[in-house]
């Protein structure tokens, strides 16, 4: 979709709207043609573009790493094997440094999180118009849909559904191992007996609801902060790329200036997308370590 055909506000809105499939208020199912229709579909609407890219990138990750493992050699390794070995060693080092218990699931989980989040973030480095334009042309010529009604966001981590879904999965694992390792009584004790405690039974009863409120807020804050940190950083980065893309419609001088800005921001953004994947992985490891911790104080 060219920024010369529509206003700047419409251009930005189009790029920030997901391709949504769901049930309309009258009961029929279909694709939303604008943001208002998408909102009217409610909670059970599906962001098709987010699902497509997140699943596709996950499959690519599995295929590449399986290929590297299948063709691994003790001799001189190829480029793919070198890369996979380096990533695995990097993740394993971080797990050993942050996870003090023993659980064979944590390292594969950390590897999956780091690579998958990085790949989703990496989509932000593709020019913002390329894939949406291709999707619009496909929708027009194959399905007969007007291009401005075809929405195609290509960065899954700019969708809060993705980041919340991953953080909730980590949170559920944390809750599961908290109960499994500490027992139901130990888990409840963590929520009610700290940080305030007293040897006086009557005073301890008073502290229990206060402790529960403080610990419950701290517990719920973990998945919220985990998801919102990734979403906020990636959404802001995508918005900057979109604003820079608008400059190409302002004449050759603005276009050249925008090109330099885009190059500079893309180089800097490589650090951001890697750092956000690393932070998400590290916090997931730390949360799992907390779930396995049986110390008296935490």
Pairing of strands 20-23, 46-47: antiparallel
User: What backbone phi and psi angles, to 5 degrees, belong to 91?
Assistant: -65, -45
Q: Using an 8 Å Cβ cutoff, are 3 and 249 in contact?
A: yes
Round to whole Å and give the CA distance between 238 and 248: 16
Q: What angle do CA 49, 51, 57 make, to 5 degrees?
A: 100
Round to whole Å and give the CA distance between 48 and 19: 6
- Helix axes 79-98 and 252-292, enclosed angle (nearest 10): 50
User: What backbone phi and psi angles, to 5 degrees, belong to 251?
Assistant: 100, 170
Query: In which residue are the tokens 């200036």 written?
Result: 257
Return the beta strands (E) in the chain as ranges.
Answer: 20-23, 29-31, 46-47
DSSP secondary structure, 100-161, as one string: -S--TTHHHHHHHHHHHHHHHHHGGGS-TTHHHHHHHHHHHHHS---GGG------GGGSHH
Catalytic residue numbers, as ranges: 225, 229, 233
If 0-12 CB within 10 Å is exposed, 13-18 middle and 19+ buried, where does residue 25 land?
A: exposed
């Amino acid at each position: 979709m060219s920024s010369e055909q529509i206003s700047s506000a419409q251009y930005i809105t189009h790029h920030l709207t997901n391709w949504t499939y769901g049930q309309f208020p009258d009961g029929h199912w279909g694709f939303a043609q604008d943001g208002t229709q998408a909102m009217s579909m409610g909670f059970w609407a599906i962001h098709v573009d987010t699902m497509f890219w997140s699943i596709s990138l996950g499959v690519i990750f599995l295929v590449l790493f399986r290929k590297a493992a299948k063709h691994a050699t003790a001799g001189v390794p190829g480029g793919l094997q070198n890369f996979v070995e380096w990533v695995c060693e990097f993740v394993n080092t971080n797990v050993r440094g942050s996870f003090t218990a023993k659980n064979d699931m944590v390292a594969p989980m950390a590897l999956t999180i780091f690579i998958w989040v990085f790949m989703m973030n990496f989509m932000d480095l593709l020019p913002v118009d390329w894939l949406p334009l291709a999707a619009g042309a496909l929708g027009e010529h194959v399905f007969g849909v007007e291009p401005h009604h075809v929405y195609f966001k290509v960065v899954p981590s700019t969708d809060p559904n993705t980041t919340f879904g991953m953080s909730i999965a980590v949170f559920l694992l944390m809750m599961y191992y908290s109960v499994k390792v500490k027992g139901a009584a130990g888990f409840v004790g963590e929520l009610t007996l700290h940080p305030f405690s007293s040897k006086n039974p009557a005073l301890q009863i008073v502290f229990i609801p206060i402790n529960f409120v403080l610990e419950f807020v701290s517990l719920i804050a973990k998945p919220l902060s985990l998801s919102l940190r990734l979403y906020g950083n990636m959404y802001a980065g995508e918005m900057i790329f979109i604003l820079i893309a608008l400059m190409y419609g302002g004449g050759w001088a603005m276009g050249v200036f925008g090109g330099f800005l885009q190059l500079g921001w893309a180089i800097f953004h490589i650090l951001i997308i890697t750092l956000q994947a690393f932070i998400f992985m590290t916090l997931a490891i730390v949360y799992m370590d907390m779930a396995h911790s049986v110390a008296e104080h935490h």
